[in-house]
Amino acid sequence: MHKLDWYILKRFLVTFFFCMMLFMVVAVAVDSSEKADDFVKTGLGTGQIITQYYFGFVPYIWGLLFPLFVFIAVIFFTSRMATRSEIIAILASGTSYNRMLRPYLVGGLLLGTALWFGDRYLIPKANEIRSTFQTNYIDKNDPTKNIRESSCNNCFYRRLDSITYVGIRDYDTATMGASHFFMEKVKGDKVIYNLRANGIKWDPPTRKWKLTNVLERRVDSMKEITTASPTMTLNIGLKPEELRKDEYLKDRLSTPALIAFINREESRATEGLNALKVERYRRTATPFAVLLLTLIGTVIASRKTRGGSGMHLAIGIITAALFIVSDRFSTVFATKGSFPPLLAAWLPNIAFSIVAFWMYKKTPK
């Protein structure tokens, strides 16, 4: 790293942090204006709203728009360098185009690594703050959300092992109890055991489930044995914290916890895990996109044009919009269809890697 490298790297990082802070102010202003009525209904003070909501909202916005911040920063300061003929002077001094790209790649690698670490550990903690506030104060007052919820929103059906299935109806997270419960064991296509109870409740001291009005049926090839019990203690691999429908779950789990959750639910043959898998792979694909967009931005803005920075920014915004749209499309196809989650997370990077290589080959050096 020479003096020129440090000059470019410094401009890169300073412009990036300026863009990030500027967009943060705009995002907070827009969000606060939209949620002003909700904030008033909470009865919380300004300081409490900042600590209980915006301490989570700001990192969430940073993580969501991080690649866009990098892309705009690269285009903005590189375009100004090209307009002032600094790029021409660098190349005329004998520095090759590939050598000039080194500080850009170093900066993209630093920021990509920072985003990778943040996506794995820091941003999920911020999302936990934001989602808790959203759930406690905003979502519960949203009438449209209540209409969208089904009549059996607190019903759960789980597979515990290769032959055991349980179902719970009208589960209450506050009391950790439900009014209906059943458990079945199935071998092949035959039910060999069936249990039904009119009530189930978690017992914290024993860390087991307490059942009331229990009816058991054991079935074999010759006969059926039925047993009725007023109470029963059941020890199964199911905990109260697992019986909660959380639409923010994938956002608030750290990557190791997310991987463990996906593996556990797959062992239970749980369906609808594609959204969680896309999120898992996206946390690696997005940091790589930072490096990719850094290269594309440099290639776009390093050429001096008559339109100046405005032309570069316009091309950059169009490119970023196409990248975001392709990412959204692949995510929707994976979560709503049969598109592989790994390919959905990496497809925009693969497509734009080809675009980046083509633009790099066409750029005058």
pLDDT of residue 25: 93
User: Would you say 355 and 296 are in contact if contact means Cβ atoms under 8 Å apart?
Assistant: yes
Question: 49 with 130: CB under 8 angstroms?
Answer: no
Nearest in space to 124 (alpha carbons), one of 227, 251, 273: 251
pTM equals: 0.81
| pLDDT score at 147 | 45
Tokens at residue 190, please? 């035959």
Please identify every stretch of the chain with a pLDDT value under 50, giving residue numbers as ranges. Answer: 147-150
Among 299, 287, 312, which residue's Cα sits nearest to residue 66? 287
Collapsing DSSP states into helix, strand and coil, what is residue 159?
strand
The confidence score (pLDDT) of residue 231 equals: 92
Q: How much is the pLDDT for 57? A: 94
Q: How many CB atoms lie within 10 A of CB 281?
A: 17
Measured in degrees and rounded to the nearest 5, phi and psi for residue 343 equal -70, -35
- Per-residue pLDDT, 142: 61
Residue 181 — φ and ψ, nearest 5°? -150, 140
